[in-house]
A and B are shown apart, each in its own frame.
Chain A
């Protein structure tokens, strides 16, 4: 008899679960675009600001999957998303060249900034360019007077950091861990560590302002910005739909056309974070808007042939 009672409980539980599972399935009537992006892009709030317009125009839902840059590219390679919104130009070009992506379109850029303790012990704020700022940190670091906190992952930010070190002919793997801390953490955590260690780091502007606004890093300030090498270019890449037949290519192309359209570009330019900073500068090439998918495919094919 008691056995029956348990059986009843289990049956009720399983039915509840099945009903529950059916709800999301029933709701999935509208089209879905799966977009992989990086945590820094997502956390800035830009997508939350602009995506409702796209979802309304095309009566669809955009599923945003915010992960590390490397992971986002991997999801694209494996056909698990329809489109990428990312910011590692060199890796992106290779990605398209290797045939994983259809093509790459510029969307907008924001800035990387060099941040450090407000008193700026090694005078980074007087550097002429990012290269000189890094050189100052290196020289003082090796003599024990400065600390640099690095992402040390495969993020776009870390790629940029290594690009600047390479301008000085330096490779981060040769740096001593007495002054160069490779953390393998996200931008927010790296800023916290830089604050605690009174060190310098390279950050995207958006994450810095958000962190600053929450009062976690009061003593950290932007010490250097504005060198064009610190521009952080965002692009969209639709995933190769001949490689993966299930890719929602039509919607992905609509997305590219929409995000590069003058209206959306203006929307991006108007976006401000919670503290009133304008973070993104739209720079999609004007006149690149395609009328139909067919034209787009032809152009992307010729781009693949000629461009690379």
Chain B
């Protein structure tokens, strides 16, 4: 192998973390309350909504990318924002992928909390919101798992990041799009190396999240 990687791997790694981290936080801020709502409230069409959520687990990243592309392309309805081929567009596309996972796993997590807890808290004079809060706390381990799965989806996907990021060196190149580039160019060793970097970074993040998981933070 004579030609080396010409771009800054550290910068690519940091951007990966920034994009997928932001998407996970955004997706969790939407998905956890949504999951708690669907999981705890009784309403008509609840089963259908759950099925839709679970179906979206299979949402292809490229389609999420295409959706954001059409939204923010200059020819699209929000084209004037000019955010296509920026990290912001990548965050939005990945958020679309994260939300269903976080929502779905949160639904399962809060559903497993004994219903009697809610009744007990309510009978002790708690408001509905306080009761919901208590249940999320009881389901803490599951909720953090939901967030972890969301992060796993975001950091590992390549289709959306490539579609709306464009894999621009120094601007929107993340670990997964760099892996794809190296593979395409036949630099399999570099691709595997970058994959190892990705897993090491993921390991760090998951260690941190486990630390959060084992402490009851709420």
Q: Decide: A79 and B74 in contact? CB cutoff 8 A.
A: yes
Interface of A, secondary structure class, is helix
Does chain A have a CB within 8 A of B213? no
In the complex, A164 Cα to B117 Cα: how many Å? 73
Task: Encode contact with B along A26-41: 1 for CB under 8 Å, 0 otherwise.
Answer: 0000000010000100
Knowing A21-B87, A34-B85, A246-B74, say if A66 contacts B167 (CB, 8 Å). yes
- Contact for A48 among B6, B76, B167, B168, CB less than 8 A: B6
Interface size on B, residues (CB 8 A): 34
In the complex, A7 Cα to B141 Cα: how many Å? 18
Binds B, one of A102-110, A207-215, A222-230, A288-296: A207-215
The contact size tier of chain A is: 35 or more
**Chain A residues with Cβ under 8 A from B168's Cβ?**
63-65
**Chain B residues with Cβ under 8 A from A63's Cβ?**
85, 166, 168, 171
- Contact for B217 among A9, A67, A78, CB less than 8 A: A9
Does chain B have a CB within 8 A of A80? yes
Knowing A6-B217, A63-B168, say if A214 contacts B25 (CB, 8 Å). no
Q: B70: nearest residue on chain A (CB-CB)?
A: A78
In the complex, A2 Cα to B133 Cα: how many Å? 13
- State how many angstroms separate the Cβ of A203 from the closest Cβ of chain B: 12
Q: Decide: B73 and A24 in contact? CB cutoff 8 A.
A: no
Question: What 13 new A-B contacts, CB under 8 Å, besides A13-B25, A188-B185?
Answer: A2-B216, A21-B88, A24-B87, A39-B184, A45-B3, A65-B168, A80-B85, A188-B184, A188-B186, A210-B185, A216-B188, A274-B2, A275-B2
User: Which residues of chain B have a CB within 8 Å of any CB of chain A?
Assistant: 1-3, 6, 18, 21-22, 25, 73-76, 79, 82, 84-88, 166-169, 171, 181, 183-188, 216-218
